[in-house]
Structure 1
Amino acid sequence: MASFQTEGVAIVTGSAGGIGLGAANALAASGARAVVFADIDIARVQESATASKKYATNPDYEARAYQIDVTSVESVNGVFAKVVEEFGRLDYLVNSAGIDVANYVPVPDVDIADYDKVLAVNSRGILLCSQAAIAAMSKQDSRSFKTITGESRDLGRGAIVNVTSALSYAAVPGKVAYIASKHAALGITKATAQDTAGKGIRVNAICPSWVRTPMFDAESKKFPPIGDFIKAAVPVGRPAEPDEVGDSIVYLLSPAASYVNGIGLILDSGLTLTVHLGI
């Protein structure tokens, strides 16, 4: 449907792989004019940007790859300035850069340096990138969309989706830094949505449970029983695929979600229906 088209310019952080890559490719497939792949790993993100062209549906599609450190004000502002200079506007931001804890340990044994590192990427990074995006979006004209009835719908100046986690609403043992960072990310989402609604900028979060990504593979090595737990607890018996999360992100960015603001959309196949199983 036309209302699910995202025809503007997007920046996706953490897009060398995982959910970020799934989101960036989904944006290309849904008609984006340009997708900027931004990641700390410049070699991998360049490959991802080049490969995205085979999914693009906009004949004028352009893909760019930039190295970004989402914990650095200078790095973030530099990338966003380049994008606005080249394309004239920024319509969508997907904050997908994220890391997990180094080791699963109880709170008394947490390495504070690891805690600070996780919070810096997973929550500070979202705030810094959101600040840069809002500064750019606030200066540009609103866009509109013609509905199926022929009426014009105001889409505002831009939309942001923060990739958080089902653990923005819950907790598991041994991951206090990750859980704290994801609770903070959802809080940033809600606070930002309040602050920017009057500017015509929507802000939402996607909150998936397990997704088949490199981070999930690493988690499986740290905690081998996770595979059996997922089969028992998740109604469909498997993790989500990155492209499934990407499709939900596109929805939140698209005209179809023009009245959706400040939510955390749980994407868990009904896992919360079976939480009594524990972990």
Structure 2
Amino acid sequence: MASKLQLEGGIALVTGAAAGIGKETVLAFAEADVEGIVLADLNDASAVIEESKKFAKNENFRAIAVQLDVSDENAVRAMVDTAVNEFGRIDYCVHCAGMGNISGATTEHLKIDVFDKTVAVNIRGTMLVVSTVSKAMAAQEPRTCQNPSARNPTATRDLGRGSIVTIASVNAFVPAPGMMPYTSSKHAVIGITKTAALDNIKNHIRVNAVCPSWTDTPMMQASLQRVPQLGHIIQKLSPLGRAASPDEVADYIMFLCSPSATYINGSCLMIDAGLTLTAHGAASL
């Protein structure tokens, strides 16, 4: 964890908070001086709460955990209600919950049940979280903060009513063989993000996506167990010869939530060390 951006307080909601990018985002939020965090995950995230307290900069810092399936409409609504009831508002929502490519079957052998499950978690889950959080944010008062630039310290920045960040993938732009369920779902995440960004302009809510390539998370480790040659592929194709670390992704998420990004909306930030710049990388990802 390396993020040093400060967020002037505020309340964060992070899904997929128990591990990987979600966990690192929680720790980065704590370090960035937020007042409170709601950690949402299918699994128990209480251990991450204890770890986040070690990095918390805000003296009033508090965190709670909620267990849910993000594809369950009632559960998502209850999660957002819990956040608002406990903390009064949601200033930052980072939707990290999702599933990776668990089959590898090519088109002619596609497993329909895997496709349906991926759609439910990655597409329906993203839609439910973004829609429900947007409604909650639209009902709260906007915030301002002191201009983060020392060049104009007397000015203020309009933070609006909130910032939402979704986790897409380079696969939202570049396909790979045997990954139709995952690739299709990440294309949809971009569509949800851009539409929500447009719809939320009137509400002064920013919605952006980050699009990482391979990131060293438990999800990637599971893929390495299933496809041992993946490690060699990453070393060969990544311009840096390695996967991203979760904190490298979390740093970009913090930027999109910060006062430094108040003019950024509907963007899809690629985090791939330049992998998708080359035809070779695009064809081989």
Q: TM-score, normalised by structure 2?
A: 0.94
Give matches, 1:81-120, under 5 Å.
81-120=81-120
1:94-243 alignment to 2 at 5 Å? 94-147=94-147, 148=150, 149=152, 150-243=154-247
2-side partners of 1:68 and 1:143: how far apart?
A: 29
Q: Which residue of 2 aligns with 1:244?
A: 248
Distance 1:55 1:3, change over 3 A: closer
| Equivalent residues of 1:234, 1:269 under 8 A apart | yes
Residues 91 and 163, structure 2, Cα contact 8 Å, conserved in 1:
yes
Check 1:166–1:2 CA distance in 2 against 1; reply closer, same or farther (3 A cut).
closer
Measured against aligned partners, the alpha-carbon deviations of 1:17-43 in whole angstroms (never above 9, x if no partner) come to 01111111111111111111100112x
CA distance in 1, matches of 2:256, 2:8: 10
Aligned residues: 277
Q: Decide whether the 8 Å contact of 2:22 with 2:97 is kept in 1.
A: yes
SS of 2:80 mapped into structure 1: helix
C-alpha distance after superposition, 1:210-237 (max 9, x if no partner): 0000110111122222212222221211
- Distance change (3 Å), C-alpha of 1:2 and 1:18: closer
Secondary structure of the equivalent of 1:162?
Answer: strand
Q: Give the match for residue 65 of structure 1.
A: 65
**8 Å contact 2:21–2:247 — kept in the other structure?**
yes
State the Cα distance separating 1:274 from its structure 2 match: 3.6
Q: Which amino acid aligns with 2:141?
A: D
- Deviation of 1:275 after TM superposition, in Å, equals 4.1
Q: Note if contact 1:14-1:95 (Cα within 8 Å) is conserved in structure 2.
A: yes
Give the Å deviation of 1:4: 4.0
Question: Residues 159-187 of structure 1: CA distance to partner in whole angstroms, max 9, x if unpaired?
Answer: 00001111111110001000000000011
Work out the CA distance in 1 between the residues paired with 2:109 and 2:175: 17
RMSD: 1.5
Partner residue of 2:20? 18
8 Å Cα contact 1:6/1:27 also seen in 2: no
Query: 2:50 matched to which residue of 1?
Result: 50
Gaps spanning 5+ residues in structure 1: where? none
Secondary structure, counterpart of 2:210 in structure 1? strand
Gaps in structure 2 of 5+ consecutive residues: none
Distance 1:6 1:26 in 2: 13
List, as ranges, runs of 4+ consecutive aligned residues in structure 1 with deviation greater than 6 Å.
none
Answer whether contact 1:101 1:115 (CA < 8 A) is retained.
no
* SS at 2:207 equivalent: strand
1:60-103 residue CA offsets vs partner (Å, 9 max, x unmatched): 11111111210011000001101101111110100100112331
State the one-letter code of the partner of 1:16. Answer: A
SS in 2 for 1:133: helix
